[in-house]
Amino acid sequence: MKAILSLFLALITAVNAESPAERDARMQWFREARFGMFIHWGLYSVAAGEWDGKRYGGGVEWIQSLARIPVAEYTPLKDRFNPVKYDPDAWVRLARDAGMRYVVITSKHHDGFCLWDSKLTDWDVAASPWGKDLLKPLAEACRKYDMKFCLYHSIMDWHHPQWGNKEPWRGNSATDAPDMDAYAAYMKGQLKELLTEYGDVGILWFDGEWESAWTHERGTELDDYVRSLQPAIIVNNRVDKGRKGMEGATLGEHFRGDYGTPEQQIPANGIPGEDWESCMTMNDTWGFSAHDQNWKSSTVLIRNLIDVASKGGNYLLNIGPTPEGEIPQASVDRLGDIAKWMESNSEAIHGTTANPFPTTPWGRCTMKAVNGGTRLYLHVFDMPADRRLLLTGMRNPIRSARFLAAPQEALRVEAKSEGAAIIVDRELTDPAATVIVVEIEGRPELATPPGNP
């Protein structure tokens, strides 16, 4: 009897298991996208990084925890959340013009406050002066501009009385009794609203999985549940317990999650064998801060995007709108600069794969298979003194070399003992990165580097 039962279970698992080809098909848009927008928006935006006259740094969406604010004192923030300037159409256009292909917005962050009118709680936008769902208009704008609509959803919840880990600063009420079965049912109920009433959702970006109340078993069950509602959805690895800290790689096959999630960092060699996405801020916080003006330059952001793509990952770049629904001007300016760069260079990012060379001292390389050959995109950060861009160890015949932005002007090529070199006899004009396209025969074939067996 037992044997029959396990055979039956094995059969069910086999039927449900996804083949590598099916998985590739599901991941395809994500792999081609390379660039997305993260949006952290909620009640913490009202506090804007300050509480009781004290300023907090780092991720100020954590203000409730940073300032040890009891739930009863945090709750009135909802009365000041009124995004009258919210313009989802403009937000999505800003993302699209910058070359982003997906938008991930916080349906619920750690404070538990929901940006849609959930039937399962009053701790949501319906209780604010705004009073209306914020997610649906964004989902609609995404559909209009062919942008994937995706959701960040915190597993950990500082507001819900049944979440299993308690913090003394929360000021728990007498009715506060941890019950993770009940909490999991609440989360599933909410996810059902989000996954049945908003059309196709590209990614479910879970977070807050690190507390002890969340287990591998619960993560597995949640992943199955989400996939049962939307089989084509992509789920990040924070659904389960297998994330390696801020480096974000997934520690082993048996952990759920379709991709790794490095946070505020770009892994030196990507994450071999795994899909991944580096999420990063433009200043030092995810949620809006009125005082954090430590903005990265547009050049740094553009080079980060290139760096991530050259290592085979995606770049999820964050904005933290104000409680009125405005995107900080510093973010708008930077996205505008990225848009300008992407206008002439997006083909060197979208649909590309990782750099094939052991070293690229002049910058970064991405590539794409085309017409039986390969198109290499050399993103030049630093021009070598001899003005030669070495393609270390490459033996393939070269069909052509040219500036991406000036295709009619051919560049000369020189064969060197260490590999082919592209001679750049003109000044580079783009301070962030000038892209040179090199068309070669076949897939890149590299000579074994000297010293290697």
> Exposure string (b/e) for 53-83, b if CB count within 10 Å is 16 or more?
eeebeebbbbbbebbebebeebbebbeebbb
CB nearer ligand GLC, residue 286 or residue 357? 286
Shortest approach of ligand GLC to residue 264 CB, angstroms? 8
Cβ pair 205, 260 in contact under 8 A: no
Shortest approach of ligand GLC to residue 262 CB, angstroms? 9
Distance CA 170, CA 167 (A): 6
Terminal Cα-to-Cα distance of the chain (whole angstroms): 56
CB nearer ligand GLC, residue 173 or residue 265? 265
Longest dimension (CA), the chain: 78
CB nearer ligand GLC, residue 196 or residue 265? 265
Shortest approach of ligand GLC to residue 396 CB, angstroms? 39
CB nearer ligand GLC, residue 152 or residue 341? 152
> Exposure string (b/e) for 360-395, b if CB count within 10 Å is 16 or more?
bebbbbbbbeeeebbbbbbbbbeeeeeebbbbbbbe
CB nearer ligand GLC, residue 145 or residue 169? 169
Residue 186 φ/ψ, nearest 5 degrees: -60, -45
Beta strand pairing call for 398-403 and 434-441 = antiparallel
Shortest approach of ligand GLC to residue 207 CB, angstroms? 5
Interacting residues of 71 by C-beta distance below 8 A, sequence separation 6+: 158, 159, 170, 171, 173
Minimal CA–CA distance to 282: which of 270, 267, 300, 307?
Answer: 300
Sign of CA dihedral 221, 225, 231, 235: negative
State the residues that interact with ligand GLC by CB under 6 A. Answer: 40, 59, 61-62, 207, 263, 279, 286
CB nearer ligand GLC, residue 69 or residue 404? 69
Shortest approach of ligand GLC to residue 286 CB, angstroms? 5
Shortest approach of ligand GLC to residue 246 CB, angstroms? 8
Shortest approach of ligand GLC to residue 156 CB, angstroms? 8
CB nearer ligand GLC, residue 123 or residue 205? 205
Minimal CA–CA distance to 59: which of 219, 225, 292, 251?
Answer: 292
Sign of CA dihedral 11, 12, 15, 16: negative
Shortest approach of ligand GLC to residue 257 CB, angstroms? 14
Minimal CA–CA distance to 225: which of 393, 233, 131?
Answer: 233
CB nearer ligand GLC, residue 39 or residue 440? 39
| Six token digits for residue 80 | 């000041």
CB nearer ligand GLC, residue 59 or residue 161? 59
Angle, CA 209 vertex, CA 51 and CA 319 arms, to 5°: 50
Shortest approach of ligand GLC to residue 263 CB, angstroms? 5
